[in-house]
C-alpha cells in the first residue's frame, strides 16, 4: 500500500512539474527561446505572492487574481523591451541573456527578501485530505493536479482554436511570411511570454504553498521543467503533462526506496527516456 500511495503522490506532484514545464514548452515551441530564467521567474511569482498575501491579507490561491496579471505584464514587457532585441536566427544570444537575467533575479531577490526560506500559508488546505480506505490523498496536491490539467487544456485550446493561437502557430512556422500577413512578430512573441508567465504565476503560488522557497530555489525548478518537457517530447503540451507525471512518480518511488534518492530517481528516469527515445515520448508529428 505504501507503494500505491507513493505512486499516487508522484502523479499528483507531476501536475506541479507540468505547471513548471508548460510555460517553458510554450516559449520554446513558439519562438525557439530557451528561457534559463524560467525557474527564477517561478520563484519571483512565489515572492510576489508572499507580498500580495501579506499586504492584502489574501489566501494564496485568491492572490492569483493579482499575481497572474502582474506576471503576464512582466512577461510582455520582458519580451518586448529586452528579449525581442536578441532574437534572430541564432538561439544562443537570447539564451545567454536569460542566463544573465537568472543571475540578476536571484541576486535581486536575495537583496529584497534575504536568503531565509519563506512559505505561503494556505491554512487548512495544507493538511486537508481525502481518505479512501487506507489511501490518503491530500486536497492541495489533488487541487494542484486538477489545475495543471485545466491549464494544459486551456493552453491547448488557445493554441488550436483561437486567433491568438493561429498567430502563434503561423509565426512559429514562418515568421517572415506571418509578418507579410499582417502579424507583428514582436507583439506575438510578447503575448507568448505573457502567457508563459501567467502559467508561471500559478506554478509559483503552488510551489510556495507546497514547500518553502528561497531566492536560490529557481534552478532546480528549471531542471524539473526541462526534464518534463523533454520526457514528454518537444512541442506537445499533453506530453509535457505525462513527462511531469513520470518525473513525479520516479521521484516518489525513489524516495520510497531511500529518502535520499528522490531527486536522483527523477534524473535517472529522465536519462532512461532520453537514452531510449531521444526526441521524448510524444514529439509533435510535424517538424
Partner 1 sequence: MSELLRCSDLSKSFGSVTVADSINFSVSDGEAVGIIGPNGAGKTSLFNLITGTLQPDSGKIHFQQADITRHSSAARCRSGIARSFQIPQPFAAMSVYENVLVAATHGARLPALKAQHQSIEALRKTGLLERANDTAGSLTLLERKRLELTRALASGPALLLLDEIAGGLTDKECQSLIETIQKIRSENVTIVWIEHIVHALLAVVDRLIVLDFGKVIADGEPNAVMASKEVQENYLGLAADA
* Beta carbon of residue 97, minimum distance to partner 1 (angstroms, whole number): 23
Cβ distance to partner 1 smaller for residue 57 or 176: 176
* Beta carbon of residue 80, minimum distance to partner 1 (angstroms, whole number): 14
* Beta carbon of residue 187, minimum distance to partner 1 (angstroms, whole number): 9
Q: Which of 32, 119, 166, 277 touches partner 1 (CB under 8 A)?
A: 166
Cβ distance to partner 1 smaller for residue 185 or 267: 185
DSSP notation for the chain: -HHHHHHHHHHHHHHHHHHHHHHHHHHHHHH----TTHHHHHHHHHHHHHHHHHHHT--HHHHHHHHHHHHHHHHHHIIIIIGGGG-SS-SHHHHHHHHHHHHHHHHHHHHHH-S--B----GGGGT-EEEETTEEEEHHHHHHHHHHHHHHHHHHHHHHHSHHHHHHHHHHH-HHHHHHTT--HHHHHHHHHHHHHHHHHHHHHHHHHHS-B-TT-HHHHHHHHHHHHHHH-TT-HHHHHHHHHHHHHHHHHHHHH-GGGHHHHHHHHHHHHHHH-TT-SS--S--
* Beta carbon of residue 287, minimum distance to partner 1 (angstroms, whole number): 7
Residue 170 in the binding site for partner 1 (CB under 8 A)? yes
In the window 267-286, what residues touch partner 1 (CB under 8 A)? 286
Cβ distance to partner 1 smaller for residue 131 or 286: 286
In the window 173-232, what residues touch partner 1 (CB under 8 A)? 173-174, 176-185
Cβ distance to partner 1 smaller for residue 35 or 171: 171
In the window 32-51, what residues touch partner 1 (CB under 8 A)? none
Q: Which residues contact 181 (CB under 8 A, 6 or more apart)?
A: 170
* Beta carbon of residue 1, minimum distance to partner 1 (angstroms, whole number): 46
* Beta carbon of residue 284, minimum distance to partner 1 (angstroms, whole number): 9
Name the segment binding partner 1 (CB under 8 A); options: 137-145, 170-178, 261-269, 270-278. Answer: 170-178
Name the segment binding partner 1 (CB under 8 A); options: 5-13, 78-86, 128-136, 160-168. Answer: 160-168
Cβ distance to partner 1 smaller for residue 102 or 190: 190
Size of the site for partner 1 (CB under 8 A): 19
Name the segment binding partner 1 (CB under 8 A); options: 4-12, 22-30, 161-169, 225-233. Answer: 161-169
CB 33 within 8 A of CB 229: no
Measured CA to CA in angstroms, residue 26 lies from 23, 43, 138 at distances of 5, 19, 29
Gyration radius of the chain's alpha carbons:
19
Cα–Cα dist 17/229, whole Å = 9
Torsion sign, CA atoms 72, 246, 39, 121: positive
Cβ distance to partner 1 smaller for residue 59 or 284: 284
Cβ distance to partner 1 smaller for residue 72 or 167: 167
Cβ distance to partner 1 smaller for residue 57 or 287: 287
Binding site residues, partner 1, CB under 8 A: 163, 166-167, 169-170, 173-174, 176-185, 286-287
Amino acid at each position: 500500500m505504501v507503494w500505491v500511495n507513493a505512486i499516487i503522490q508522484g502523479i499528483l506532484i507531476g501536475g506541479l512539474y507540468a505547471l513548471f514545464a508548460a510555460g517553458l514548452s510554450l516559449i520554446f515551441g513558439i519562438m525557439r527561446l530557451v528561457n534559463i530564467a524560467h525557474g527564477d521567474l517561478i520563484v519571483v511569482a512565489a515572492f510576489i505572492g508572499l507580498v500580495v498575501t501579506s499586504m492584502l491579507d489574501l489566501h494564496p490561491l485568491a492572490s492569483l487574481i493579482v499575481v497572474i496579471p502582474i506576471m503576464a505584464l512582466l512577461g510582455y514587457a520582458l519580451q518586448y523591451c529586452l528579449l525581442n532585441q536578441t532574437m534572430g536566427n541564432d538561439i544562443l544570444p537570447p539564451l545567454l541573456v536569460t542566463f544573465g537575467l537568472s543571475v540578476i533575479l536571484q541576486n535581486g531577490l536575495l537583496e529584497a527578501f534575504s536568503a531565509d526560506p519563506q512559505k505561503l500559508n494556505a491554512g487548512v488546505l495544507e493538511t486537508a485530505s481525502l481518505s479512501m480506505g487506507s489511501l490518503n490523498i491530500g486536497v492541495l496536491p489533488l487541487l494542484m493536479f486538477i489545475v495543471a490539467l485545466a491549464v494544459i487544456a486551456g493552453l491547448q485550446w488557445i493554441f488550436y482554436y483561437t486567433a491568438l493561437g493561429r498567430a502563434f502557430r503561423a509565426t512559429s512556422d514562418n515568421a517572415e511570411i506571418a509578418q507579410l500577413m499582417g502579424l507583428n512578430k514582436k507583439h506575438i512573441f510578447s503575448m507568448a511570454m505573457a502567457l508563459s508567465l501567467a502559467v508561471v504565476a500559478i506554478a509559483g503560488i503552488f510551489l510556495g504553498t507546497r514547500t518553502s522557497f528561497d531566492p536560490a530555489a529557481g534552478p532546480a525548478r528549471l531542471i524539473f521543467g526541462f526534464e518534463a518537457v523533454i520526457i514528454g517530447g518537444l512541442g506537445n503540451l499533453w506530453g509535457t503533462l505525462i513527462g511531469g507525471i513520470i518525473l513525479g512518480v520516479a521521484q516518489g518511488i525513489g524516495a520510497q526506496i531511500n529518502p535520499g534518492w528522490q531527486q536522483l530517481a527523477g534524473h535517472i528516469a529522465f536519462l532512461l527516456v532520453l537514452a531510449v527515445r531521444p526526441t521524448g515520448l510524444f514529439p509533435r508529428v510535424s517538424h
